Amino acid sequence: VDASPGSITLNSDTALYEVTITMHINRDALLDRFDEVALAERDKSRAEQDAAIKAKEEAAAAPATPSPSPSPSASSDGGK
C-alpha cells in the first residue's frame, strides 16, 4: 500500500480544506489483516530477522581480540 499526495484546496463555501490523494493497494495487502495466526507468524518472523540483523551488526562492531605476541621464555637461549 502506498499513497501519493494530490492536492490541498480550501473550499470557500464550507471554509474547510479538501485533500486528494492517490492510493495504490496491492490485492494481497489486506489479505491476512484479520488472520490472527498469520499475523503472529509474521510478527515472529520479523522479530527473528531483526534479532539476526542485530547479532550480525554487534559481531561486526565488536573489537577484534588481539593475539598475544610471542616472547622468549626465561629458559630460552634465543635459538642458539
Q: pLDDT tens digits, the chain, 80 residues: what are they? A: 677 888 999 999 999 999 999 888 877 777 777 788 888 898 999 999 999 999 999 988 877 777 777 766 666 665 55
Tell me the CB-side half-sphere exposure of residue 47, using CA atoms within 13 A: 6
Q: Which residue ranges make up each domain of the chain?
A: 2-59
C-alpha cell at 9: 484546496
CA distance 19 to 5: 9
* Length of the chain counted residue by residue: 80
